[in-house]
Structure 1
Amino acid sequence: MPAGEVIEPQEQPWSRRRLRSTNERLLLDRLRALGAASRAQLARETGLSKPTVSSALASLAAAGLVHEVGTHAPERGRTAVLYAPDPAAGYVLGVDVGRGWLRVAVAGLDGTVAARADVRNRARTSAALADLVVGTARRVVGDSGVDPAEVVHGVVGTPGVYDEERRRVRYAMHLPGWGRAGLFDRMREELGVPLEVHNDANLAALGEYTYGVGAGSRLFAYIMIGTGLGMGVVSEGRLFTGAHGLAGEIGFLPWPDRRAGQEEPGRHRPERLEDAVSGVAVVEAARHFGMSGQLTAKAVFDAARRGDAAAVRAVELEGERIAHTVAAAAAVLDPDLVVLGGGVGHSVDLLLGPVRAHLRALTPLRPAIAPSRLGEDAVLLGAVATALGTARDLVFARRTGDG
C-alpha cells in the first residue's frame, strides 16, 4: 500500500439494514403525526432525500404499513400521491375492569375503535370475573371482524397495582379475590394475546392526556372518585408511577375527621381519605343529613339538582373533602391542572363550585380544576393508547423483519 493511502472501511450489511429501518420508522412516525403526506412533504419534514423517501415508502407499502389515501393537486406542479399509515396493519385490545362495569374495545393502529362492549359486572368470584373478561373480549374481537391473530397487544386497567414478580394484583379492595395469583396469566393464555396490567387511575390519566382535557399539560393529576379513590399523574406526557407502582394511591392517606366524637352513636367515621371521598361516603353523608330509601351516589346528586336539602348538604360536604384531596395533590405535585373523573367526578356541575370555594380557604396553591372530558371512557381509552405504543413497535418489527 503506497504511503499515505487511506482505505475506506466497507459499510457492513447490518449497518445498511439498520439505516433503512431507521429511515422507515422515521417516515412512519411522521405520517402518524401528519395524518397523510406526499413524498415531497415527507422529505421536507424529515430532511431525507426524495429518493430515500421514495424507497422507504415503497418498502413500507410492501410491508402493509402504509397505503395510498388520495392525491393532492397544488396550484403549480404535478399532482402528488398522499400516503398514510394503514390502521389495519394490526389491532389492540383495551379492557377496563371495574366493580360495576366491564368495558372492552378493539382498535386499529390509528386508535379508531372497531368494536366495543360495555357489560355489567355481576361476577361474584375472581374466576367468574376472569371468565367474563375473556368471553367479552372474544365477543368484541368477533364483532369487529378482525382476525384474532392480528390483535397483537392488550392492556387491562384494574383497581389496585399489578405485582409483576408475584403475578397478581394488590390493593384491589373492591374486587374480592381479584388478587389471586395467576388470574392474568390464565387470561393471557385463553385469549392468546400479550396483556399488560395497569392501575385504572393511571390509565385514565393517560387517556385524558392523549384524547381529553389534559392534552398539552406540563404536569396534571387525574383524580378518580368512584367506588374507591385513586390518582394518576402525567408529567411531560409520561406517567409517573413511583418506585413500586404505588404513586397516586391517595385513597390510603389518613383522614383525621375533625368532627370526631360529634357523630351519632354507631355512625362510621372515615379513617382513610378513600372512606371520606368515595361514592359510599356521599351516600353515608346523605343518610346522616336525613335522606332515606335505596340510595346511590348518583341518586344523591340527582336529588341535589332537584334542590333536596339533605342531598345538597351531602354534596357540599363531598366538595369540601375533594378540596382537601386537591390541596394535598397541589402541595406535593404542583400540577398545572387537576382533572376530576370517575363516577362521582361526573357530577362536577355540582361539585366544582364547592371544591373551588373550599380550596381557596385551604391553601394558596390553586391549580386549574376541570371535569374529565372522556367521562366513563377514560380508563378504556387510556388502555387503548397504552397498548398502541407497544403494538406499533411490534407490528413494525414483524412486518419489516426488524427483529
Structure 2
Amino acid sequence: MRELNQRAVLERLRRHGAATRPRLAADTGLSKPTVGQALLDLEQDGLVRTAGRTISGPGRSAVVYEVNPGAGHVLGVDIGRGLVRVAVADLSGTVVARVDERNRARSAGALMRSVRSSVEAAVTQAGLRLDDIVATVVGTPGVPDHRSATLRRAPNLPGWERKGLLNELSSVLGTELVVENDANLAAVGEHEAGAARGVDVFVCATVGTGIGMGIVVNGALFRGAHGAAGEVGYLPYGWPPPSQPPREGMLESAAGAHSVVEMAAARGLVVHTAKDVFRLARERDARAMSAVEEEATRLAFMVASVAAVIDPALVVLGGGIGKNTDLLSEPLTRALAHATPLRPKIVPGELGEDAALTGAIATALRTARDVVFTRRGGRVASQ
C-alpha cells in the first residue's frame, strides 16, 4: 500500500506538474498524512524535490514539490543512412546532451564503432557515464527479429542485416536496450510532441532514401504479427511485379529519393539529389515541378492503399522527401481524388528530422521512470 501511495503521488506530479501537499491530497484522494509520508519517502529516494513555497490563502505558506528530473537519464539513438543522432535526456524529457555525426560507414562494424563513439561523446557531454543511463532506445531502418537477434529488411545500411546484430548492439550500448524500427519511433515522436498529438488513429510515413510507416491505433503503436506492419516500401506498385522484384521493395524503388532524381533526369535535368529537385521546383523549373508531381502521384498510391486498410484520421508526412508537403500536397490530393473516396487529412510532420529521436526518448522514458522508482524505492518495499 505504501508503494502504491508513492506511485500515485509521483504520477500526479509527472502528469500535472509541481504541487503542494494539500493539492496532491485533493487530486489523488489520499489523506494529507498519507501524502506527507509518500513525499518524505520519495524525497529521501531522490525522486521528488522541493521547488519553493507558495501562499494559497490565509495562513502559513505551503511547500511545493516537483519530480526530480535528475534522478535518472535515458539515451535515444537514431541510426539513419546519412546521420547518426544521439541524445541524452533527464526524466522530464529535457535533452541535456546532443551529438549528430555523419554516417560514413560502409560496413556494419564501422557503423557500430561510429554509434559507440557518438554515444560516448553524448554521455560525456552530459557529465555522465554509460552505466548511469537507465534505458536506451535505438531507432534503425529494418524490422527487429529478436529470436535471431537480427534486423530484417534494412537494405540501405550495408551489413546491417547480419545475424546477431542486436546482440552486438547490446554489448556496445548496454543490456537495458530496446531496438525499434525508426518509422515506428517517428510515429511515437509525432504522437508525443508533434503533428499527431491527441490523435488516436493515424499513420506517419517517412519518405526519404527509403520509405517506411509507423501505425498508431487506439493511441498505441501497431507492429503486426511479425513486427513488419508499416513496411509500405513493399507495396506492389506497378503490378504485375517484375521477374526479380527490387530488394528494397517495389514502392520504395519507385518513390524513394533515388527515383526522384531519376524522374528529373528523364526530363533533362542534371541533378544529384532529390533535395536539388525540390529546390528547383520551388524556383518554378517546369521539369522539376513535373518530376515532383509524378512523385506525388506515386505517393498517392501509398496513401490510398493505407486508407483502405487502416482508415487513419491523419497521415503525417516526414523524411527528406515527405517534408516537402508545400509542393507535394496539391498534386497528391488531386491524384487521390481520382483514385479513392477515402481521403484522410494529410499534414507535414512537426518534428522534422528529430521525429525518430524524439520517439526514442519518449519510449525510453516510459521504461526508465518505472525502473528508477523500483530501484530507489527498494528501501520502502523491504520495510
**Per-residue deviation, 1:36:** 0.9
Determine if contact 1:256/1:271 at 8 Å carries over to the other structure: no
Superposed CA offset, 1:182-214 (max 9, x none): 333233223335211000000000000001111
- Counterparts in 2 of 1:360 and 1:78: CA distance versus 1, 3 Å: farther
RMSD after superposition: 1.7
Q: Which of residues 315, 321, 326 in structure 2 aligns to 1:349?
A: 326
> Given that residues 233 and 249 in structure 2 are in contact (C-alpha distance below 8 angstroms), is that contact kept between their aligned partners in structure 1?
no
Corresponding residue for residue 110 of structure 1 = 92
Which of 354, 357, 363 lines up with 1:386 in the alignment? 363
* 2:252 corresponds to 1:274: yes
Distance 2:113 2:86 in 1: 13
**Structure 2 partner of 1:189:** 171
- With 369-378 and 186-195 compared, the bigger mean Cα shift is at 186-195
> What does residue range 96-245 of structure 1 map to in structure 2 within 5 Å?
96-245=78-227
Question: Which amino acid is 2:266 matched to?
Answer: H
C-alpha displacement at 1:20, in angstroms? 0.9
Shift of 1:215: 0.6
Q: Is the 8 A contact 1:39 1:53 kept in 2?
A: yes
User: 1:257: Cα distance to partner?
Assistant: 6.2
**Residues 151 and 193 in structure 1, CA contact (< 8 A), matched pair in contact too:** no
Q: Report the alpha carbon displacement of residue 338 of structure 1 after superposing the two structures with TM.
A: 0.6
**1:284 matched residue in structure 2:** 262
Give the letter aligned to residue 352 of structure 2: G
Deviations along 1:350-391, one digit per CA (max 9) or x if unpaired, are 111111222222111121111000000001110111111111
Secondary structure of 2:19's match? Answer: coil
- Map 1:348-387 to 2 at 5 A: 348-387=325-364
Partner of 1:337: 314
Q: Which amino acid is the alignment partner of residue 174 of structure 2? A: G
* CA distances 1:65-93 after superposition (whole Å, capped 9, x unpaired): 01111222224343221111111111111
> Partners in 2 of 1:177 and 1:20 — Cα distance?
51
Query: For residues 65-122 of structure 1, what are the alpha-carbon distances to aligned partners after superposition, in whole Å with 9 as ceiling and x for unaligned?
Result: 0111122222434322111111111111100001111000110011100101111100
C-alpha distance in 2 between matches for 1:363 and 1:164: 38
Verify: 1:27 aligned to 2:9, yes or no: yes
- Matched to 2:25, the amino acid is A
Distance 2:303 2:64 in 1: 47
Counterparts of 2:59 and 2:349, CA distance in 1: 46
Distance in 1, matches of 2:296 and 2:228, equals 25
Partners of 2:44 and 2:106 in 1: CA distance: 49
Matched, 1:310 2:292: no
- State how far apart, in whole Å, the 2-side matches of 1:78 and 1:357 are: 65
8 Å Cα contact 1:152-1:193 kept in structure 2: no
TM-score norm. by structure 1 comes to 0.90
Q: SS of 1:67's equivalent?
A: strand
| Amino acid paired to 1:67 | R
TM-score (norm. length: structure 2): 0.94
The structure-2 alpha-carbon separation of the partners of 1:76 and 1:324, relative to structure 1 and needing over 3 Å to count, comes to farther
Report the residue type matching 1:336 in the other structure. A
Residues in 1 aligned to 2:55 and 2:338: alpha-carbon distance in whole angstroms: 60
1:120-151 Cα shifts (integer Å, max 9, x gaps)? 10001100000101111011000111243321
Once the 2 structures are TM-superposed, how far is the Cα of residue 56 of structure 1 from its aligned partner? Answer: 0.3
CA distance in 1, matches of 2:57, 2:269: 70
- Aligned partner of 1:3 in structure 2 is none
Does structure 2 conserve the Cα–Cα contact (< 8 Å) formed by 1:65 and 1:85?
A: yes
Q: How far 1:271 sits from its partner (Å)?
A: 6.9
Rounded to whole Å, the distance in 2 between the matches of 1:74 and 1:248 is: 51
Query: Separation in 2 of the partners of 1:126 and 1:256?
Result: 32
Residue pairs, 1:52-71, within 5 angstroms: 52-71=34-53
The one-letter code of the counterpart of 2:320 is: G
Deviations 1:263-292 (A, max 9, x none): xxxxx9x97111122111111111111111
Change (3 A) 1:78 1:184: same
Write the distance in 2 (CA, Å) between the matches of 1:237 and 1:171.
Answer: 26
Q: Aligned partners of 2:55, 2:161: CA distance in 1, in Å?
A: 59
C-alpha contact 2:74 2:134 (8 A) present in aligned 1 = yes
Contact conserved, 2:235 with 2:302, CA < 8 A, in 1? no
Gaps of 5+ in 2: none
Aligned mates of 1:328, 1:194 — CA distance in 2: 37
Which deviations, in whole Å up to 9, do the C-alpha atoms of 1:197-246 show, x marking residues without a partner? 00000000000000111110020100110111111011232100011101
Counterparts in 2 of 1:166 and 1:193: CA distance versus 1, 3 Å: closer
SS in 2 for 1:202: helix
The answer on 1:256 being equivalent to 2:238 is yes
Q: What secondary structure does 1:322 align onto?
A: helix
- C-alpha distance in 1, partners of 2:58/2:167? 59
For 1:73 and 1:369, locate their aligned partners in 2 and report how far apart those are by CA, in whole Å: 48
Bigger radius of gyration among the two: 1
Aligned to 1:4: none
Inter-partner Cα distance in structure 2 for 1:98 and 1:190? 18
Cα distance in 2, alignment partners of residues 124 and 149 from structure 1:
29
Distance 2:156 2:172 in 1: 25
Following superposition, which runs of at least 4 residues in structure 1 exceed 4 angstroms of deviation? none
One-letter amino acid of the counterpart of residue 66, structure 2: A
